[in-house]
Structure 1
Amino acid sequence: MLDGRSINTISWFALVIATILTSFPVWSQQVREAGTVATLDFAIAETLFAVQDLPVAMGGVSNYQSWTEDDSLPPNLVDIGSNPQPNKELLSTLNLNTILIPLQYAYLKDDLSSIAPVAQLSPYNTSPLSGWEKMIAFTKEIGTHTERKPEVHQLIANADDRMNHLRDTATTLPQPLLLMQFLDTRHVRVYGRNSLPGIILEQLGLRNAWDGPSSRWGISTIGIGELFNMEAHFVVVDTSHLPSRRTTQENVMASELWGQLPSVRAGNTTLLDADFWVFGAIPSAILFADSLINAFESK
């Protein structure tokens, strides 16, 4: 026969077991949602924002926001400092599933591997694939590393649909197009075939006026004087929203040299809203495509 103390003990154990059983689903959900993906690259970061709901730790947050003017970053985003020199102490306190880094930060791989598994990837690589195929392969890699394959495939499908929709409209745009950005009062950066703008021009069936040499990112620096020999419609990536670039852009566009260029004198110039990351992946590619079409439709 059980005395009062035994009954109380049994009741206490029953309460404990009941509490554990009822709280277990919540506990397991918290563990599942706690895994964070860290990255030191904006192209990787914007893809993560598009395909996953887990927390993201990212370097250079303020620089990314300044360039893209993106006010819709995830509320649980963790800023881990600069991309070349991330805050390793902060990283070590996070519940990291993986750290995804671009190819140019290979020197950090061994050091960061002591914190979490590290993978290197970039849509701008030396693969023989086309630029768009490399972007798709890059996006699929992210899906593999984050276990978000269905979401990644949906992102790719949506991007293909958007490109198909814009391709018909793009046939009305002048050609060829020369995409550029002012670096200083004497030099511009031009975007070639392997750059994000160049990749999207090709996807839209548009001719890129720049067929000269370019870097792994598809960019080249040339003197503004070289633009005298370019028969093209100039598309200028508008960076006037960046305080460090605003004065340069204003000075160049007000200069006598710029005003004497044949394309400028003929009125064949268009300012393009830089609401995309120029070294980005599929999310920025779609923003660029939309921005390009909108820029000409609003002229």
Structure 2
Amino acid sequence: MRSRSVPALATLVALAALTACGTTEDPAEDENTGSGSGSSAAPLTVTDARGKEITLDGPAVRVAGTEWNVVEYLVSLGIQPVGVSDVEGFETWDSSVQLDEGVTDIGTRGEPSMDTLATLDLDVVFATDEMVDGALEQIEENTPVIVVPGGDVADPLGTMWDNLDLVAQATGTEDRAAGMRDAFDEALADGRTALAEAGAEGANVAFADAYQAGEAVSIRPFGEGSLIGGVLAELGLTNAWSGVEGLEFDPVYGLGQTDVEGLTALPDDTAFWYIANDSEPDVFTEVLADNSVWNSLPFAADTVRFPDAIWMFGGPASMEQFIDAVVDAAS
């Protein structure tokens, strides 16, 4: 699986963030009193996405994250993780927060190294429900695990906040989480105002990424149920993918699958925006440069590539970066 791909999904092909909007300062003492390092803090119990109650000795301090969204939550909340899956990949695809030097790479996101985790003296491991069979159970043999959902098309933004709040409860950083929500709401309001002033309110927008496998080009539309789709809706924009007949989206991340010919179903007035990364070829400007179908599309010449390393499946910090990029693209 390529380093930037979302967790393995049976319905999708594996593939595929600017100054940080999050914070890496140490949390205030009253927000995080520690747990596994001899703290006298009272035990706390949280209920994770499985409905399972996990009791910790106190707010977790020594933590690891197996998926990049939970890593971003942690650092945004002022908790530097001891272990992170695929550190190089995280630093390539998510620029919203910065990891401390010396963080331990614990292996792949879907199947972290049990041996490495066992050496880190962790209070808890934060994971999503997108891991290989048996991995969670193996980790739990030595360390508590708190599971958050990878996403939910029914309420992508609500799921992001639920995830953040769960991580904040387990780390004693609820006040910081509340501040992040206030800052995000302000960013949304400012974004809506800027788009209205630019005359872009209600505009048709198609956001995507793409990759090449052999000779074939695959394009991933971000539907209404994606985290990106949720933010676009809050900004008052219209998701052009919703009008494409027959296009289906997975139930976790709200991602679809199409090809170049599929783009011909988009409205002529669509603003086509996409994410790429210099670590891979740019499909739209390099691979499709001489493609007659792509070049015939009315929006091809005005397509906008968003800044690299905005993690499309991240947390409030990444989504604030995305809001800034939307305003820039529409201005």
TM-score (norm 2): 0.73
Gaps of 5+ in 2: 1-34, 40-58
Match of 2:326 in 1: 292
Letter in 2 for 1:145: A
Match of 2:65 in 1: 39
Name the SS of the counterpart of 1:96 in structure 2: coil
1:236 matches 2:262: no
Residue 213 of structure 1: CA displacement?
2.4
1:147 counterpart (139, 164, 172): 172
4+ residue runs over 4 A deviation: 28-34
1:203 counterpart (234, 237, 245): 234
Root-mean-square deviation (CA, aligned residues, Å) is 2.5
Residue 204 of structure 1: CA displacement?
0.7
After the TM superposition, which residues 84-99 of structure 1 pair with which residues of structure 2 at under 5 Å, given as runs?
84-99=110-125
Match of 1:110 in 2: 137
Q: Distance in 1 between matches of 2:152 and 2:36?
A: 37
Structure 2 contact 36–62 (Cα < 8 Å) conserved? no
Q: Which moved more, 1:245-254 or 1:53-62?
A: 245-254
Aligned-residue sequence identity (percent) comes to 19
Cα gap change, 1:240 to 1:117, in 2 (>3 Å): closer
1:273 counterpart (307, 310, 315): 307
Residue 201 of structure 1: CA displacement?
0.2
Cα gap change, 1:42 to 1:249, in 2 (>3 Å): farther
Structure 1 contact 34–95 (Cα < 8 Å) conserved? no
Q: Distance in 2 between matches of 1:240 and 1:58?
A: 21
Name the SS of the counterpart of 1:187 in structure 2: strand
Residue 247 of structure 1: CA displacement?
6.2
- Higher percent of residues as helix: 1
1:190 matches 2:221: yes
Name the SS of the counterpart of 1:222 in structure 2: coil
Q: How many aligned positions are there?
A: 265
After the TM superposition, which residues 208-227 of structure 1 pair with which residues of structure 2 at under 5 Å, given as runs?
208-211=239-242, 212-215=247-250, 216-227=252-263
Q: Distance in 1 between matches of 2:221 and 2:85?
A: 26
CA deviations 1:163-185 (Å, max 9, x no partner) are 11111112233711000112225
Cα gap change, 1:204 to 1:248, in 2 (>3 Å): closer
Cα gap change, 1:197 to 1:34, in 2 (>3 Å): closer
1:163 matches 2:188: yes
Match of 1:75 in 2: 101
Name the SS of the counterpart of 2:191 in structure 1: helix
2:204 counterpart (159, 176, 191): 176
Q: Distance in 1 between matches of 2:96 and 2:290?
A: 29
Structure 2 contact 207–273 (Cα < 8 Å) conserved? yes
CA deviations 1:50-75 (Å, max 9, x no partner) are 00235431101111222235683223
Gaps of 5+ in 1: 1-27
Letter in 1 for 2:227: L
Structure 1 contact 38–98 (Cα < 8 Å) conserved? yes
Residue 226 of structure 1: CA displacement?
1.6
Structure 2 contact 60–172 (Cα < 8 Å) conserved? no
Q: From the CA coordinates, give the structure whose radius of gyration is larger.
A: 1
Name the SS of the counterpart of 2:115 in structure 1: helix
Q: Distance in 2 between matches of 1:145 and 1:71?
A: 20
